[in-house]
Amino acid sequence: MTFHRITGLADLEEGRFGILEPVEGCPEVLPDRDTLCICPALCCDMRGYRLGWGGGYYDRYLAKYNCLKVALCYSDSLIPEYEASDYDIRMDLICTEKYIRRINR
């Protein structure tokens, strides 16, 4: 997985699983504390843990960097709590179509 700088929606195209991905030519960057990393989610719990498509792909990537982690999730897919694994990474924010939830650590 690589992280790419985008400047707007024109820099995105539909990729695997219908997830928007940077178009070819967007510069690769290494995330730092000033970077916003947007993560898709099937659902999230109120503690900030996200459920994706399995395999811990995003979690392994995010564990390497101190960046602002944001999950995109429908409000109907927010649940009180699920059993997170040891390798699961908590999000800093959960953005839904209705509100933004900040996760306090």
What's residue 20's pLDDT? 87
Expressed as residue numbers, the domain containing 75 is 31-102
The CATH number of residue 98's host domain is 3.40.50.10420
By C-alpha distance, which of 71, 33, 65 is closest to 51? 71
**Which H helix or E strand runs over 72?**
strand 68-72
% of the chain at pLDDT higher than 70: 99
Q: How confident is the model over 63-81, as pLDDT tens digits?
A: 999 999 999 999 999 999 9
Q: How confident is the model over 42-66, as pLDDT tens digits?
A: 999 999 999 887 778 889 989 999 9
Average pLDDT over the chain reads 91
pLDDT over 90 (residue 40) = no
Sign of CA dihedral 77, 48, 7, 11: negative
Instruction: Supply the pTM of this predicted model.
Output: 0.82
If asked whether residues 57 and 16 sit together in one domain, one would say: no
